[in-house]
A = this chain, B = another copy of it.
Amino acid sequence: MTKLRVHISTSLDGFVAGPGQSEQEPLGVGGESLHDWVVALEAWRQGHGEDGGEVNASTPVMQEKMAGLGAEIMGRGMFGPAGGGPWGDDPWPGWWGEDPPFHHPVFVVTHHDRAPRTLSDTTYTFVTDGIQSALDQAREAADGKDVLLSGGADVINQYLAAGLVDELELHVVPILLGGGSRLFEGVGPGVRLEQVRAVEAPGVTHLTYRVVSGGAS
């Protein structure tokens, strides 16, 4: 059965992006530090065409994250800056440019209708009729593999509150951002979790939970 999996880096005070997000600072003030642990990895650098990097306790966690994924869902804010839409004649290609690192179909939850766009081996499909529709389309595209829900906080919180997430992995980074996009905002006690594992690694701890019941569903 295809699972909907969330994997996201969070500050210790619960933010997945810092305050003051903009086209210049898409992750907000201090938010880039959330990903220091992953960009240091050889496994990440190879996927982005770069040499070198570390092999450490985060490596198998990263490899498991990528294994068995058939499609991905993201929110409009993760795909592009607020000023980039509604979409014009020269549409925004996404933060990742002409050669995105996804290598599977990506479904963008948005209010702005837009034709699908294929860049290298990634096709972006823009879904305007809600999170359930995006999940249905991603599940079909994933063809038996899992679907990754990669961010940002708003869309993850919507899926959690609706009881649609199966697995949640938080990469907890030892920084305080003090503001920004807060994970779990509005999700509440109806969502029940089971702790699956905790992995200590340099500069990060990986916490994995199974969502056993939840939300409105």
Contact = CB atoms under 8 A, between A and B. Distances in A.
Interface string A168-203: 001010111111000110011101111101111001
Contacts of A204: 195
A141 B195 CA distance: 39
A199 B205 CA distance: 10
Interface bin, chain A? 20 to 34
A54 interface: no
Nearest to A189: B178
A183 B178 CA distance: 11
Which of A12, A14, A176 has the largest count of B CB atoms less than 10 A from its CB? A12
A195 B203 contact: yes
B195 A13 contact: no
A39 to B, nearest CB: 17
Contacts of A209: 12, 174
Give 5 closest A-B pairs by Cβ, nearest first.
A178-B188, A198-B200, A13-B184, A198-B205, A174-B193
Interface of A: 12-14, 18, 29-30, 170, 172, 174-179, 183-184, 187-189, 191-195, 197-200, 203-205, 207, 209
9 contacts: A12-B170, A14-B184, A174-B193, A175-B193, A178-B187, A195-B200, A198-B198, A198-B205, A205-B205
